[in-house]
């Protein structure tokens, strides 16, 4: 009896899913529109939640959206190591045009991107940005040596992998080299902080849920099992090693307009060990910066935060890049192009 009931439930599920799939595709094909922040909540997944080559694995119940498929890219970094990544291009992409580019950096740092649907990247592409997302050394999925090579060296050569990727795409001719942006969260946010402290190449940056001071982070994070992995000794025995790899050490070299996005209840990367330190220092130096702190949010703000906070987060990210790369005024930040500090 039990096995018959289970079989019946499975059959009903298949029928229901098939009905949904048929009902969606039976609707008249409306004109496609650009994806928006609020579309974050409008997706109905059928089967595996990834984009198949013909796009059939992602179904949109309430709207027909003008999306693009990711384009895989591989290139050689400074030491000959092969790096994999993807490019999300705007709808109706024209290779003869010059587009602004946003480099997106994953967290972990042992995370990894893949050929899949990403609402944030599709949103940026719909607004006219080319999005580049890469798996630099330290990313998982490429073997133990590739993943562990950054031990005691993060951040460092992973930045060189990322910059080589930007070079690879810029030389293709459809990127405006004066309109480059960079964004990342968690360990990716730390890499954003590190990058803008070592180059003035980017017109704007967004750093989220970052940690900018290794020593403060060592004493305050609720993620203590990372500590013996990243450094050979605790900070009270080797303070110089922690300072050398902390973005806050290089804060005086930062000229890129940068936004920090933090969660008030983030105990993995407390704001006072990351963005808040950077923000206070940059304000003291009179550099263009803003900080957004979301109440009641932890380290998973971007993926598991309160619904409206997730939408507002996307709105802030787009507004910041639009202001500094598209020339769209956003007076709510109290900054304008004249506030940009010139190159070093």
Comparison of pLDDT for 338 and 133, the residue scoring more: 133
Residues, the chain: 344
For the cut 80, the answer to whether the pLDDT of residue 30 exceeds it is: no
Long-range contacts of 1-5 (CB under 8 A, 24+ apart): none
Write down the pLDDT at residue 37.
Answer: 76
Could you say which DSSP state residue 325 is in? I
Domain ranges of the chain: 2-60, 71-339
Helical (H) or strand (E) element with 86: strand 82-88
- Catalytic residue list contains 106: no
Write down the pLDDT at residue 117.
Answer: 85
Comparison of pLDDT for 56 and 88, the residue scoring more: 88
CB 228 within 8 A of CB 260: no
The confidence band for 53, taking pLDDT boundaries of 50, 70 and 90, is: low
Give domain 71-339's CATH architecture: 3-Layer(aba) Sandwich (3.40)
pLDDT by residue (tens digit) across 185-212?
999 999 999 999 999 999 999 999 999 9
Return the structure tokens found at 98.
């010059």
Write down the pLDDT at residue 40.
Answer: 66
Return the structure tokens found at 317.
């990210």
Q: Which of 77, 186, 212, 271 is catalytic?
A: 186
Q: Which of 106, 119, 299, 316 is catalytic?
A: 299
CB count, 10 Å around CB of 213? Answer: 24
Please give the C-alpha separations between residue 225 and each of 17, 99, 335, in angstroms, as whole numbers. 43, 42, 40
- Catalytic residue list contains 186: yes
How far apart CA 135 and CA 170 sit, in angstroms, is 18
């Amino acid at each position: 009896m039990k096995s018959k009931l289970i079989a019946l439930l499975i059959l009903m599920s298949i029928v229901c899913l098939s009905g949904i799939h048929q009902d969606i595709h039976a609707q008249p094909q409306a004109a496609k529109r650009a994806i928006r922040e609020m579309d974050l909540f409008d997706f109905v997944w059928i089967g595996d939640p990834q984009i198949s080559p013909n796009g059939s694995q992602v179904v949109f119940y309430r709207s027909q959206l003008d999306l693009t498929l990711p384009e895989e890219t591989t290139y050689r970094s400074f030491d000959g190591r092969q790096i994999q990544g993807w490019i999300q291009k705007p709808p109706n992409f024209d290779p003869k045009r010059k587009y602004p580019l946003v480099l997106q950096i994953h967290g972990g740092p042992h995370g990894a991107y893949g050929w899949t649907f990403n609402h944030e990247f599709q949103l940026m592409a719909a607004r006219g940005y080319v999005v580049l997302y890469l798996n630099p050394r330290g990313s998982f999925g490429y073997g133990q040596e590739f993943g562990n090579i950054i031990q005691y060296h993060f951040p460092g050569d992973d930045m060189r992998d990322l910059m080589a990727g930007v070079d690879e795409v810029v030389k293709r001719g459809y990127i405006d080299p004066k309109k480059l942006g960079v964004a990342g969260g968690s360990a990716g946010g730390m890499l954003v902080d590190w990058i803008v402290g070592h180059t003035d190449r980017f017109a704007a940056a967004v750093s989220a849920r970052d940690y900018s001071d290794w020593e403060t982070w060592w004493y305050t994070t609720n993620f203590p099992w990372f500590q013996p992995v990243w450094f050979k000794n605790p900070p009270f025995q080797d303070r110089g090693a922690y300072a050398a790899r902390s973005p806050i050490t290089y804060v005086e070299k930062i000229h890129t307009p940068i936004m920090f996005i933090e969660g008030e209840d983030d105990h993995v990367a407390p704001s006072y060990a990351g963005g808040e330190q950077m923000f206070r220092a940059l304000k003291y130096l009179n550099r263009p910066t803003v900080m957004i702190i979301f109440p009641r949010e932890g380290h998973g703000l971007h993926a598991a935060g309160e619904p409206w906070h997730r939408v507002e987060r996307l709105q802030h990210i787009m507004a910041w890049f639009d202001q500094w790369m598209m020339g769209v005024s956003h007076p709510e930040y109290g900054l304008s192009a004249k506030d940009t500090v010139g190159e070093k």
